[in-house]
Structure 1
Amino acid sequence: MKRGLSFFFLIILMLVLTSCTVDPNAADQYVQSKQLDVEIILPSSLSKNNEQNLKMKLTQEGKKVEYATNVKFEIWKENHKEHLEVVEAEYENNGIYVATKTFTDDGLYNIKADVKTRDAHVMPTRQVIVGKLSEEEKNALTPDDQKHREHQNHH
């Protein structure tokens, strides 16, 4: 009787395991987010005490994004992220969003485009020079390995 009961459970177990197969098209049933591309567009030169237009162009699958929500720039001077400033961007046209900013100091700045759509969140960052750089800021632009070699040459 025990042997018959064990055989019966073995058969049931085999039926359950063989009925659970993986659907090869299972991945197609999930919504896949589409790549959001952000191009930061800045003036060729930035100077202090002048209003500057900061722009970003948004595209998704080659189409201009016209209805993005939460489109902004985060701006901070190098090594001073605690003074980060957030500037909201407004839709201009053709997938381009614009914000204005007046830089009050010369130096090396980071400008991060922060964009959220229904299915994506993208935050590319660019480093820009406003006016003239200090020696410390110039060194921040030098690759680490070059700094190391220059340091060795002084000894």
Structure 2
Amino acid sequence: MNSRGLSFFFLIILMLLLTSCTVDPNAADQYVQSKQLDVEIILPSSLSKNKEQNLKMKLTQEGKKVEYATNVKFEIWKENHKEHLEVVEAEYENNGIYVATKTFTDDGLYNIKADVKTRDAHVMPTRQVIVGKLLEEDKNVFKPDNKKHQEHQNHH
């Protein structure tokens, strides 16, 4: 086979390969559509230092209580001190509610992030809370609505 015939042969093979690799217009339908995971952080009406506090989160998906979540934890840090972040594992209590205990040692503004993974979602809402007294240094960063909903939802 001469070089012209060989070039023609490779051109035909290349065209066959390119035409066989087209995008399926229904490809999105082949992926499982995951259901939104809702996380509600439930805290006492006031938090005091040097007292054990129950931190809770309620997990629902399409209105149903989630009992099978893995890696359910709270990440807690004092405002502007994320380098001292503490991770507290939460245990399943009942009715889709997971609970952890924490004793805060200082007054001030804290961030409490619920970090939850299920089979098909990863959600991390965050709330700002005042423990004891709000310190002067925290007054300019405190959000009066008490929430910093930074929800990240990753579906696998």
Q: What is the TM-score with the length of structure 2 in the denominator?
A: 0.76
Task: Specify the alignment match of 2:31 in structure 1.
Answer: 30
Kindly indicate whether the alpha-carbon contact (under 8 Å) linking 2:123 and 2:153 is maintained by their aligned counterparts in 1: no
Task: Write the distance in 1 (CA, Å) between the matches of 2:154 and 2:97.
Answer: 48
Kindly indicate whether the alpha-carbon contact (under 8 Å) linking 2:69 and 2:118 is maintained by their aligned counterparts in 1: yes
Count of aligned pairs between the two proteins: 154
Structure 1 SS opposite 2:105: coil
Gaps of at least 5 residues in structure 2 are none
Task: Write the distance in 2 (CA, Å) between the matches of 1:152 and 1:39.
Answer: 14
Structure with the greater alpha carbon radius of gyration: 1
Q: Deviations over 1:86-109 (max 9, x none)?
A: 100000011000001111110000
Q: Whose helix fraction is larger, Structure 1's or Structure 2's?
A: 1
Distance apart, 1:148 and its partner CA: 24
Question: Mean Cα displacement is larger for which, 145-154 or 93-102?
Answer: 145-154
Identical amino acids, percent of aligned pairs: 93
Structure 2 SS opposite 1:46: coil
Task: Write the distance in 2 (CA, Å) between the matches of 1:103 and 1:123.
Answer: 21
Judging changes above 3 Å, is the alpha-carbon distance between structure 1 residues 57 and 4 closer, same or farther for their aligned structure 2 residues? Answer: same
Task: Specify the alignment match of 2:11 in structure 1.
Answer: 10
Judging changes above 3 Å, is the alpha-carbon distance between structure 1 residues 44 and 7 closer, same or farther for their aligned structure 2 residues? Answer: same
Question: Mean Cα displacement is larger for which, 144-153 or 78-87?
Answer: 144-153
Judging changes above 3 Å, is the alpha-carbon distance between structure 1 residues 4 and 59 closer, same or farther for their aligned structure 2 residues? Answer: same
Task: Write the distance in 1 (CA, Å) between the matches of 2:120 and 2:53.
Answer: 30
Task: Write the distance in 2 (CA, Å) between the matches of 1:101 and 1:148.
Answer: 21
Distance apart, 1:17 and its partner CA: 8.0
Distance apart, 1:57 and its partner CA: 0.5
Kindly indicate whether the alpha-carbon contact (under 8 Å) linking 2:124 and 2:152 is maintained by their aligned counterparts in 1: no
Judging changes above 3 Å, is the alpha-carbon distance between structure 1 residues 123 and 150 closer, same or farther for their aligned structure 2 residues? Answer: closer
Judging changes above 3 Å, is the alpha-carbon distance between structure 1 residues 25 and 145 closer, same or farther for their aligned structure 2 residues? Answer: closer
Task: Write the distance in 1 (CA, Å) between the matches of 2:85 and 2:154.
Answer: 37
Task: Write the distance in 1 (CA, Å) between the matches of 2:91 and 2:22.
Answer: 50
Task: Write the distance in 1 (CA, Å) between the matches of 2:121 and 2:148.
Answer: 38
Judging changes above 3 Å, is the alpha-carbon distance between structure 1 residues 20 and 44 closer, same or farther for their aligned structure 2 residues? Answer: same
Judging changes above 3 Å, is the alpha-carbon distance between structure 1 residues 60 and 11 closer, same or farther for their aligned structure 2 residues? Answer: same
